[in-house]
Structure 1
Amino acid sequence: MRYELTDLKLFLEIAQARSLSAGAAGVHITASSASYRLKNLEQAMGAPLFVRTPRGMDLTPAGEAMLEHVRELFEGVERMHGDVGRYVSGLKGHVRIAANSSALNGFATASIGRFLVLNPDVDADIEERQSETIPAAVLAREVDIGIFAGGTEVGGLEVHRYAMDQLAIVVPSNHVLAAEPEVKLGAALEFDFVCMSRTSSNFLFLRDAAIRVGKPVRARLHAHSFEAVLSLVAAGLGIALVPSSLLAKPPAGIATLRLAEPWARRELNLAVRAEGRLPLFATALLQFLLDDPRVAMTREAP
């Protein structure tokens, strides 16, 4: 059984891209060389690993089984480089994070930024996703760390309680609702909203909640940041649904109402895969996120 690490890397690239030519480009070899290496690997394994279909290169059952082992192998190689590299120049590596908009904007982004300043050899990809999709993305190795609202039935994860947050309705200070201490979502939906972008997890959450109430979201404008949303609310353009973690220093001209819904107070959870040991730098980031005092204090609040 003879094959090289490059052959396994090629196999992984082809499996991910479902294309021989894309896999070859991923390891910087020609398509003909990739085809030769793949044939040798299949001979060494004693089984075909791919079948060619109109959609591209599909894994055979043997290839599916091999893919799990190859992913674990390269995760181990990355951990090895990270563990050895820390003796040379500190933590090194790349970590992928997915979180919903409340976690990203209210808590995680600031913590990740401080961690990267302290660890200049670590890079990060931060992606916003809907909470419902994040646990599966962690399990599928699409991301290393996921932060999402609520629980999950996805198995194979190590889940940590991360933070508590409360969704609120903000209105212009001269709005008819401004004097109210709280509001139900159905009543709020009678008014125009300033919303986050149409692909934001915040807007998609609001849209789905409105569907359950049986009313549409009257979106006058979609903005690309919560800062812009709050400014537009203060200017009188409409009202908005925002996480209360962003309202420690609200801009002048807005009033905050408690959202009187049982789902408005949300537990944010952090998840990693249970069976795989994270690289040293990713473990350090995970602990940094959990230990952030501003985040930890929300877990203790009533």
Structure 2
Amino acid sequence: MRYDLDDLRLFLGIVDEGSITGGARRMHLSLPSASARVRALEHHAGVDLLVRGRRGVRPTPAGTTLARHAREVLAQTARLDSAVASYTRSPAAPLILLGGGSAMHQLVPQALVSFLRAHPDVDVAVSESRTPDTVRLLTDGEADLGVLVGDEARDCGLRTEFLGDDSLVVIGQAGGILAGRSAVTYTEAAEHPMVGLAAGSSLRRWIETHVGPHAPAVRHRTTVAGLNQVVALAAAGVGLAVVPRRAIDPQVSLDVCELQDPWAHRDHLLAWGVKEDDRRATATRALARHLREAALSEPSGRTARREPADRDVAPGARQEPDTLTRP
């Protein structure tokens, strides 16, 4: 049988997320459309690929085999694109890739490693940029690709696609003031000393813009240049921190709480520049594919405190948390 590459990406997303809803979200599809694709995949395969339960799905033995081979096929396809793209353009004209601080932490570097290894004749110029600035540069034809924060990119007029979850969480020292909590508000977190990024960083400015002028004054014990340092300081008990969930190293011992404020729930979008250039098109598509693969390979649900209700359960079903214990 013939396999559609997008169907394979959808199936891998479902397996990684543990739910059809999560896989559909990754591929920017509606739930009915994703379900229909899975049913068609199972029909053509002639075997059940997923075991469906009340709290999500898991692969059958056949589904596990399909997932393993699908990862190999997609990786081979990316290498094929990369090999062809290496003949399409001069190394004197680098691709321009823009993204915010969260994307630059792991997603972009991971994609660059695989892309640049596969494309020895293609260079990429990477810059950190806030979403409004990235939209402007893409619209003006001054960049090829950008990773945007979804809420800031609505009606931007650019071609976009869902890339991954970029929701924010609150982290603190294991066994500290967040112990026993699953979710907090920003106002609660701000009652305690915090650590964060420097004032000029895209994430810091994004948070301050959304909390508004009436937000509580935050006492920052210190500010640093990178998310790795923020996570390390929070793990050491210096203060609480608000970071993207994807920035947390699963090997670091931390208490992690969902951030309940609506603005904390964010998505990453991949956006394309408007400038048409056939000489760059193949290389740009290849870089976009590497970004998708990097997003797909990131472990999902990195916080053990994420509630099962986050999967396939109607919004509003989450239990309200207690108030943080003050020191």
Same fold (TM over 0.5): yes
Partner of 1:116: 116
Partner of 1:294: 297
Q: CA deviation at 1:222?
A: 1.0
Partner of 1:210: 211
Name the SS for the 1:86 alignment partner.
Answer: coil
Q: Distance in 2 between matches of 1:273 and 1:265?
A: 25
Assess if the C-alpha contact under 8 Å between 1:178 and 1:257 holds in 2: no
Q: Distance in 2 between matches of 1:149 and 1:228?
A: 22
Q: Name which one, 1 or 2, has greater alpha-carbon Rg.
A: 1
Name the SS for the 2:289 alignment partner.
Answer: helix
Equivalent runs, 1:122-201 vs 2, <5 Å: 122-150=122-150, 151-155=153-157, 157-201=158-202
Name the SS for the 1:175 alignment partner.
Answer: coil
Equivalent runs, 1:85-100 vs 2, <5 Å: 86=87, 92=91, 93-100=93-100
Question: Structure 1 residues 219, 209: closer, same or farther in 2, change over 3 A?
Answer: farther
**2:258 pairs with 1:255:** no
Assess if the C-alpha contact under 8 Å between 1:162 and 1:296 holds in 2: no
Q: CA deviation at 1:238?
A: 0.7
Q: CA deviation at 1:273?
A: 2.5
Q: Distance in 2 between matches of 1:180 and 1:230?
A: 18
Assess if the C-alpha contact under 8 Å between 1:129 and 1:200 holds in 2: no
Name the SS for the 2:212 alignment partner.
Answer: helix
Question: Structure 1 residues 275, 127: closer, same or farther in 2, change over 3 A?
Answer: closer
- Aligned-pair identity (%): 22
User: Greater strand share, 1 or 2?
Assistant: 1
Question: Structure 1 residues 223, 85: closer, same or farther in 2, change over 3 A?
Answer: closer
Assess if the C-alpha contact under 8 Å between 1:145 and 1:286 holds in 2: yes
Regions of 4+ moved over 6 Å: none
Assess if the C-alpha contact under 8 Å between 1:91 and 1:281 holds in 2: no
Assess if the C-alpha contact under 8 Å between 2:185 and 2:260 holds in 1: yes
Assess if the C-alpha contact under 8 Å between 2:134 and 2:146 holds in 1: yes
Show CA shifts across 1:242-300 (max 9, x none).
11112251413x211111122222111111124524603222111221234325979xx
Partner of 1:285: 287
TM-score by length of structure 2 reads 0.59
Q: CA deviation at 1:128?
A: 1.3
Show CA shifts across 1:188-238 (max 9, x none).
111111111222111112222333552223222111111111111122111
Name the SS for the 1:288 alignment partner.
Answer: helix
Partner of 1:233: 234
Assess if the C-alpha contact under 8 Å between 1:91 and 1:119 holds in 2: no
Q: CA deviation at 1:120?
A: 1.8
Question: Structure 1 residues 161, 216: closer, same or farther in 2, change over 3 A?
Answer: same
Show CA shifts across 1:130-188 (max 9, x none).
22322112112232211111133222x21121112221000112422232111001111
Q: Distance in 2 between matches of 1:249 and 1:143?
A: 33
Specify every segment of 5 or more residues in structure 2 that has no aligned partner in the other structure, as ranges.
1-83, 302-310, 313-327
The answer to which structure, 1 or 2, has the higher relative contact order (CA under 8 A, 6+ apart) is 2
Partner of 2:49: none
Name the SS for the 2:123 alignment partner.
Answer: strand
RMSD: 2.7
Question: Structure 1 residues 183, 274: closer, same or farther in 2, change over 3 A?
Answer: same
Q: Distance in 1 between matches of 2:109 and 2:289?
A: 15
Question: Structure 1 residues 294, 164: closer, same or farther in 2, change over 3 A?
Answer: same
Partner of 1:105: 105
Q: Distance in 2 between matches of 1:191 and 1:240?
A: 10
Assess if the C-alpha contact under 8 Å between 1:210 and 1:216 holds in 2: no
